[in-house]
A = this chain, B = another copy of it.
Amino acid sequence: MMTARNRIFEIRNLAHSYNGRPVLLVDDLAFERGSITGLTGPNGSGKSTLLKLLGFALKPSQGEILFNGRVQVPYSRAVRSKVTLLTQEPYLLKRTVFDNIAYGLKIRNRSADLASHIREALDLVGLDFKEFSQRRWHELSGGEAQRVALAARLVLKPEVLLLDEPTASVDVKSAKLIRNASLQAKNTWGTTLIIASHDWHWLSEISDRQLHIFKGQVVSAGMENIIPGPWAPSDLPGLVERSLGNGAAIKAVPPPTPGMTALINIDHIHFKTCDTHDDSVDENHLTGMVTRLILERKTGDILITLSIHDIQLTFKFPSNTISNLELFPGKTITLCFSARHIEWI
């Protein structure tokens, strides 16, 4: 349980709009000190907006954010040197890599041993001190710049580190380094991390909790599949369905109000393959081809991605059940779950 004391952030009735267009609505959300939270969600769902708000780099249109139990606002002293944000498009100051990383240290008057701190930070993101420290801001490739920006944040050893897509345009090896650096920050300095990313696998391997944002709302804690519409009334009474084109369809109980989005939360449901033919009306039978099998290291569970006509769904199976299924990519299987397991948001 999250106690009041170990809540580093608390959000209350937060709403943010740009030019009157609401983009984020979070009634109540807390972040635990020393945890790593993953933020996922489609483009424009509000991840960056949330991170900017948490970084006190943006004033919310409404509501408040508590940091360490107190309401804080942009530029307030209590957050300034404690919360650090890596923005989605990293901006480097017009100076050398060295000076970019040194900047945050210098304004904190932590100029002792500058070079060794910077060397360490560059190491964390896999850049060679000798090769890169004297490069100027524009003499870097896209991924290198991204990593320098991250190093400039890591070097501060902040209480909170907000990372907005730290691995976009970063190579696989560096993505792994960034994962390690994040874990190290958490374990060594007790840093709280909140990381937005589209790399779902990368994120799931590192985060203690995942939040999915959808159209400005925090949907759930966990991993889920959004089933895009259109949904139409089903022949079956009291149900709606999403046609899959090949004659099959996904069935669901109708949404409370029209226009809502359907999702399947994979943490809430137990999936099974349809060995016995269950003919209850509201049971979904989805036949599709396995395209991926991926080990979720932390839990040991296996994530199975199923391609069904034009949509892809990912489900989670405990690893002990998987070996019996004799699954391999390319195999066609049928999954069964109740129409009532589809949630509406």
* Complex interface: chain B residues within 8 A of A140 (CB): 44
A87 to chain B, nearest CB (A): 9
A181 to chain B, nearest CB (A): 15
Report which of B43, B44, B169, B328 forms a contact with A302, defined as CB distance below 8 A: B328
Instruction: Report if A43-B291 is in contact (Cβ < 8 Å); known contacts: A169-B168, A327-B328.
Output: no
A33 to chain B, nearest CB (A): 28
Decide yes or no whether A233 CB sits under 8 A from chain B: no
A326 to B325, CA, bound (A): 10
Residue of B nearest to A167 (CB): B198
Type the 1/0 row for A137-181, where 1 means its CB is closer than 8 Å to any CB of B. 001111110010000000000000000110011111110000000
* Complex interface: chain B residues within 8 A of A325 (CB): 328
A291 to B200, CA, bound (A): 15
Instruction: Report if A147-B43 is in contact (Cβ < 8 Å); known contacts: A165-B169, A172-B200, A293-B293.
Output: yes
A101 to B297, CA, bound (A): 43
Copies in the complex: 2
Contact yes or no, A292 B294, CB < 8 A: yes
Taking residues whose C-beta sits less than 8 angstroms from the other chain, chain A's interface range is 35 or more
Instruction: Report if A48-B141 is in contact (Cβ < 8 Å); known contacts: A169-B168, A200-B172.
Output: yes
Residue of B nearest to A23 (CB): B141
Decide yes or no whether A183 CB sits under 8 A from chain B: no
Q: Which of A263-305 contact B (CB under 8 A)?
A: 289-295, 297, 300, 302
Report which of B43, B142, B293, B327 forms a contact with A171, defined as CB distance below 8 A: B43
A114 to chain B, nearest CB (A): 24
A140 to B18, CA, bound (A): 10
Decide yes or no whether A228 CB sits under 8 A from chain B: yes
A-B contact pairs, 6 of them (CB 8 A): A42-B143, A43-B141, A44-B140, A169-B198, A302-B329, A328-B328
